[in-house]
Amino acid sequence: MRIPELLCPAGNRASLEAALHFGADAVYGGMKQYGLRAFAGNFSPEELRDAVRLAHASRARFYVTMNIFPFDDELEGFAAAAREAEAAGADAAIVSDPGAIRLLRREVPGLPLHVSTQANTVNTPAAEMYRDMGCERVILAREVSLERIRAMKAALGDSIQLETFVHGASCMAYSGRCMLSSYLTGRSGNRGECAQPCRWQYAVMEEKRPGEYYPVAEDERGTYLFSARDLCLMPILPELCSAGVSSLKIEGRMKGEYYVAVVTGAYRRALDLLREGREAFERALPDLMQELRCASHRDSDTGFLLGAPEIPGEAEGFHQEREYAARVTGFDEKTGKTRLELKNRFFAGETLELMTPEGIRKVTASRLIREKTGEELDTLGIAGETILMDLPPCSPGDLLRGPVRNHRI
């Protein structure tokens, strides 16, 4: 079985570092313009050069998201941004619009192109068209089933790479072609500004009965008429790998470093186990699924991969079984303790989990030293503070997590 590339989100520098530390083969992130996540941190030209250097130093690839649908008056700036991405050493640009593809093939011929899922590629002739236009990879629409992926791969061979999403939030519209946000808020999802109105609570009101609201698919959390479940293809990862896709993509450029670390680490371990054989993966699957529940998530299903997804209206709210506590930043030679950046409160004596690329280890929190003052404490409630604490051997970039609390610092 050929193991695909693991492609992870890098919405900002912290998420980039987490993805690389926990085993991403490649990352994708945007510049300040021309991507479909306008409210992610994204990267300036200088930051992009640094991000690409960091990825390459970790033997990973960096793909720049340029999947906006540009208007005529934006094409000059779009091409200039692509030239900046090429100069930064980006391994490819992710694009959606056929006109943008044609423009970049002419203006920036040395920059490899991947066709975004926003292009809604669902069949072999479309993939062949993009191949003939000079694109190296097509990111399939999320509506393509596993059986159809196999058929497309058989027809295309190695003439163009296929990529598919494997985990993360899903749009209620066809491959993200949604007008709700633009209509209700003036923020277009196709311009990177989606306000996610599909996640809002809705009710029905009859015209002649103003003020009388009738819930739709309501539970104790509210009514979620349009909200799609998250995607989770961990249970069918062997089948997806054997279908011949070149890359497995994790959604989440708006997510924080803890989410990226958890999901990247889980899929990295899963793919490494598949190298050993399916039996090793199957034995570990319950633990891998439990690990994914430790990050913030909605209820999930397998999307369209095994047929039609479950009906919308059931993806209420978020769940999370562990909370980000601190990030390892180094080692203090003077005290012999690990240096940490505090994220959320925990207490001495609590059982925590140390997240490393090699796996998860349970540790008992000791009393901590607040580096700024030197005082020894049982707990501290100031996010961003540097603390010192006894931990088993670990590395910068490893994370600590603990129980979820009702009140965060």
Q: In the numeric block, which tokens belong to residue 171? A: 């749009």
Q: Both 379 and 333 in a single domain?
A: yes
Buried b (16+ CB within 10 A) or exposed e, 61-98: bbbbbbbbbbeeeebeebbebbebbbebebbbbbbbbe
CATH number at residue 122: 3.20.20.70
Q: Both 150 and 180 in a single domain?
A: no
Where among 251, 269, 301 does a domain terminate? 301
How far is it, in rounded angstroms, from Cα 250 to Cα 260?
9
In this structure, is residue 310 part of a structural domain?
no
Is the confidence at residue 210, as pLDDT, over 90?
Answer: no
Q: How much is the pLDDT for 191? A: 56
pTM above 0.85, yes or no: yes
Q: How much is the pLDDT for 36? A: 62
CA torsion, ordered 101, 56, 161, 306, to nearest 10 deg: -110
How far is it, in rounded angstroms, from Cα 99 to Cα 102?
5
Q: Both 214 and 279 in a single domain?
A: no
Please state, as a whole number, how many other Cβ atoms lie within 10 Å of the Cβ of residue 406. 4
Q: Is 183 exposed, middle or buried (0-12, 13-18, 19+ CB in 10 A)?
A: exposed
DSSP H helices in 249-321 = 257-276, 278-292
pLDDT (tens digit per residue) in 267-316: 999 999 999 999 999 999 999 999 999 998 778 888 889 987 765 545 55
CATH number at residue 363: 2.40.30.10
Q: Which of residues 169 and 162 earns the better pLDDT score?
A: 162
The domain of 333 spans 323-402
Of 87-91, 120-124, 229-233, the least confident: 229-233
Amino acid at 200: W
Buried b (16+ CB within 10 A) or exposed e, 366-403: eebbbbeeeeeeeebeeeebbbbbebeebeebbbbbbe
How far is it, in rounded angstroms, from Cα 193 to Cα 42?
13
Rounded to an integer, what is the distance from CA 222 to the centroid of its chain? 26
| Mean pLDDT (whole number) for 321-329 | 96
Q: How much is the pLDDT for 181? A: 60
Q: Both 234 and 212 in a single domain?
A: no
| Mean pLDDT (whole number) for 388-401 | 97
Q: How much is the pLDDT for 93? A: 97
How far is it, in rounded angstroms, from Cα 265 to Cα 261?
6
In this structure, is residue 338 part of a structural domain?
yes
Is the confidence at residue 59, as pLDDT, over 70?
Answer: yes
Q: Both 132 and 184 in a single domain?
A: no
Q: Both 329 and 358 in a single domain?
A: yes
Q: Both 239 and 369 in a single domain?
A: no
Is the confidence at residue 178, as pLDDT, over 50?
Answer: yes
Is the confidence at residue 144, as pLDDT, over 70?
Answer: yes
Q: How much is the pLDDT for 298? A: 77
* Residue carrying structure tokens 């790998």: 241
| Mean pLDDT (whole number) for 155-182 | 80
In this structure, is residue 114 part of a structural domain?
yes
Q: How much is the pLDDT for 198? A: 66
Is the confidence at residue 258, as pLDDT, over 70?
Answer: yes
Of 180-189, 205-214, 247-256, the least confident: 180-189
Q: Both 127 and 32 in a single domain?
A: yes
Q: Both 219 and 237 in a single domain?
A: no
Q: Give, to the nearest 10 degrees, the angle between helix 146-156 and helix 124-132.
A: 40
Reported as a pLDDT band with limits 50, 70 and 90, residue 141 is very high
In this structure, is residue 313 part of a structural domain?
no
How far is it, in rounded angstroms, from Cα 235 to Cα 301?
10
In this structure, is residue 81 part of a structural domain?
yes
Is the confidence at residue 183, as pLDDT, over 70?
Answer: no
Q: Both 235 and 210 in a single domain?
A: no
In this structure, is residue 311 part of a structural domain?
no
Number of domains the chain contains: 3
In this structure, is residue 150 part of a structural domain?
yes
pLDDT (tens digit per residue) in 85-111: 999 999 999 999 999 999 999 999 999
In this structure, is residue 317 part of a structural domain?
no
**SS3 call for 331:** strand
Reported as a pLDDT band with limits 50, 70 and 90, residue 227 is low
| Mean pLDDT (whole number) for 238-253 | 96
Please state, as a whole number, how many other Cβ atoms lie within 10 Å of the Cβ of residue 19. 33
Q: Both 109 and 38 in a single domain?
A: yes
Where among 242, 271, 301 does a domain terminate? 301
Q: Both 43 and 147 in a single domain?
A: yes
| Phi, psi torsion values for 135, nearest 5 degrees | -90, 145
